[in-house]
Structure 1
Amino acid sequence: MTVRSLRAELFALRRRPAVWIVAAGWTVQIICFVYLITYLVYRAVAAQPEGSGSDSGPILADLLPASADHTIVGALPIWGGPVMLVLGALIAGGDQRWGTLRTVLARFADRTSFLLGRFLALALLLLALSVLTLAVSAASSVAVALVEGAAIRWPGPDRFLLALGSIWLICTAWGMVGFVLALATRSLTAAVGAGLLWTLLVENAVTGLGGLVPLLGAVRTVQLSTSSGSVAAALGASGDGFGVAAVTSGPVAAGVLAGYVVLALLAALVIFRRRDLA
């Protein structure tokens, strides 16, 4: 039954315009915000007179293929995570918004199998987006290298695989949170609003005050955005403007993100099994 639900959801996802729009929008964000704008900053710094104290070397190094694995991971806490949260909410809230959930669920005798299939479909979709993310980052870094006449040197396969796993984990954690929020609120707008308000405003406020209030310092170690930034920092990502900071170690942060995935699944199962669809 779970496999049947998975196949049905994958079939539906391929035909949802929102999925393709989100993927295209995220691709544009990578090219523009992660690479193009950073490259323009590099050119501005490089154009300053010698002796001004500005060093453009580290900026360029982050844009070259040798850094393609960790540069894009560093963009996820601020740019990519919220996109995946919106995507998860879209997938869970679409049937609620269109009023088709009762009709779809009538074809499945077990709600648990139905929801597990949807979760697996979202996880596979996020894996595909993770591969796309790494590919776009690599292509953008090659473009920068060609423009600058720099040598094209790649990280080892192990670093690419580690980056892909990290991207998938971060995207899955954010996406599953959006999924369960849409399921709990029965509203796409409420889920997206609550998710972005918490992760972008409340968590940032807690992070800023964490050094002053001991309790908040403990809370920030289990935050979604903070854990994403710690994973990126563990891979060597720069923290300039992307919310990257080694608040916890890489393994601890990865464990927190995995915990978000598990808790989101359990919460979704409890909500969905007990809910009246009327």
Structure 2
Amino acid sequence: MTAILDSTRAELLRLRRWPAVWITIGAWTALALTFGYVFDYVSYATGTESFATAGAARDALLTGLLPQAVPDVLVQGMPLFGGALAMVLGALVAGNGFAWGTWKTALTQGPGRLATVGGSLTALTIFVVVIVAATLTLFTAVSTGIALAEGESITWPTATDLARATGGGLLVLQMWALLGYTIAILARGPALAVGLGLVWALVVENLLRGVGSLLGAVEQLTLFLPGTAAGSLVGSLVDAGGTPGVLDVVPGDRAALTVAAYVVGLTALVLTVMRRRDLA
């Protein structure tokens, strides 16, 4: 346990000082804030429609910008671009260890393979938790500011809704981050992992779901895909019809179990591969 904690601290130090990590987190923050609040508030304030607000009533737009809607806004972008950026983060964390030769050094001279990889995975998980917590804090501040600016009473979301949204968001981002991490471990580098991960998340799954409407076997397969599980989990938490990536294909409890199974399975796969891998 001491070895894992030491490895985690070392990995956190590396990630904190790595600009690529903060650029990726900054991209998520900018996209989440833009699609969650900026477009809707501009449409509400100006009375015009955008591609994101077409057909929405003005009162409904304002309601979605107030503090009670924070749980919905928090998770609605996570299945698609949030997941894609989490996958990029995971691929960078694992893949650059091969590109820079740090995996070989750490695994041959460090506290042991399981402790080193376990520390890296723990550090990645901590960053996912920090991302969700920081996003929640930012959205709470922004929505409160909008409520005060518009003279609306502040109604906070229930603890249950907030806990469900936060837990669901953590599961979704952790799954995508581990998927990118795993691909990078298997590919021994970040570039291929980032490319394959983004093509899968943004293109392949959508194509398979489209083909699934024609072929029953493919349709059954899509029910177990990570994007379907993440989108359905978020879809069971929020009322965000038409939001890209948010689905209602799988019941919420089953979707949560599928995402959790991916988290456990990918972690076990990484530990197994890195324990047996020849680093030469």
TM-score by length of 1: 0.90
**SS at the partner of 1:196?**
helix
Identity of aligned residues (%): 36
Matching residue of 1:17: 19
- 2: CA distance, partners of 1:67 / 1:208: 31
Deviates more, 1:95-104 or 1:122-131: 95-104
Q: Residue by residue, what CA displacement relative to the aligned partner does 1:56-109 show, whole Å, maximum 9, x if unpaired? A: 333332222111112221111122110100000111012112122222223324
Q: In 2, are the aligned partners of 1:45 and 1:54 still within 8 Å (CA)?
A: no
Matching residue of 1:189: 191
Q: Relative to 1, partners in 2 of residues 1:258 and 1:43: Cα closer, same or farther, differing over 3 Å?
A: same
Residue 128, structure 1, aligned to residue 130, structure 2: yes
Deviates more, 1:23-32 or 1:167-176: 23-32
Matching residue of 2:10: 8
Matching residue of 1:165: 167
Q: Residue by residue, what CA displacement relative to the aligned partner does 1:162-220 show, whole Å, maximum 9, x if unpaired? A: 21111111110000000011111012110000001011101011222333321222122
**SS at the partner of 2:250?**
coil
Q: Which runs of 5+ in 1 are unaligned?
A: 48-52
Q: In 1, are the aligned partners of 2:29 and 2:135 still within 8 Å (CA)?
A: yes
Residue 230, structure 1, aligned to residue 232, structure 2: yes
RMSD of equivalent CA atoms: 2.1
Matching residue of 2:142: 140
Q: Relative to 1, partners in 2 of residues 1:115 and 1:109: Cα closer, same or farther, differing over 3 Å?
A: same
Matching residue of 1:114: 116
Q: In 2, are the aligned partners of 1:46 and 1:55 still within 8 Å (CA)?
A: no
Q: In 2, are the aligned partners of 1:177 and 1:264 still within 8 Å (CA)?
A: yes
Q: Relative to 1, partners in 2 of residues 1:132 and 1:54: Cα closer, same or farther, differing over 3 Å?
A: closer
- 2: CA distance, partners of 1:89 / 1:237: 31
Paired residue type of 2:36: V
Q: In 1, are the aligned partners of 2:226 and 2:259 still within 8 Å (CA)?
A: yes
- 1: CA distance, partners of 2:192 / 2:37: 32
Q: In 1, are the aligned partners of 2:83 and 2:176 still within 8 Å (CA)?
A: yes
Q: In 2, are the aligned partners of 1:30 and 1:136 still within 8 Å (CA)?
A: no
Q: In 2, are the aligned partners of 1:46 and 1:56 still within 8 Å (CA)?
A: no
**SS at the partner of 1:154?**
coil
Paired residue type of 1:164: T
Q: Relative to 1, partners in 2 of residues 1:171 and 1:26: Cα closer, same or farther, differing over 3 Å?
A: same
Q: Residue by residue, what CA displacement relative to the aligned partner does 1:85-143 show, whole Å, maximum 9, x if unpaired? A: 00001110121121222222233242122211211111111111110121222223223
The 5-angstrom pairing of residues 36-55 of structure 1 reads 36-43=38-45, 55=57
Deviates more, 1:258-267 or 1:36-45: 36-45
Deviation, structure 1 residue 36 = 0.8
- 1: CA distance, partners of 2:233 / 2:161: 13
The one of 105, 108, 119 equivalent to 2:107 is 105
Paired residue type of 1:75: G
- 2: CA distance, partners of 1:135 / 1:181: 31
Residue 96, structure 1, aligned to residue 95, structure 2: no
Paired residue type of 2:73: T
Aligned residues: 274
Matching residue of 1:31: 33
Paired residue type of 1:98: W
Q: Relative to 1, partners in 2 of residues 1:99 and 1:260: Cα closer, same or farther, differing over 3 Å?
A: same
Deviates more, 1:4-13 or 1:247-256: 4-13
- 2: CA distance, partners of 1:228 / 1:246: 10
Deviation, structure 1 residue 40 = 3.0
- 1: CA distance, partners of 2:240 / 2:178: 26
Q: Relative to 1, partners in 2 of residues 1:136 and 1:209: Cα closer, same or farther, differing over 3 Å?
A: farther
Deviation, structure 1 residue 27 = 1.3
Q: In 2, are the aligned partners of 1:237 and 1:244 still within 8 Å (CA)?
A: no
Deviation, structure 1 residue 3 = 2.4
- 2: CA distance, partners of 1:277 / 1:209: 40
- 2: CA distance, partners of 1:100 / 1:46: 52
Q: Relative to 1, partners in 2 of residues 1:143 and 1:225: Cα closer, same or farther, differing over 3 Å?
A: farther
- 2: CA distance, partners of 1:46 / 1:66: 24
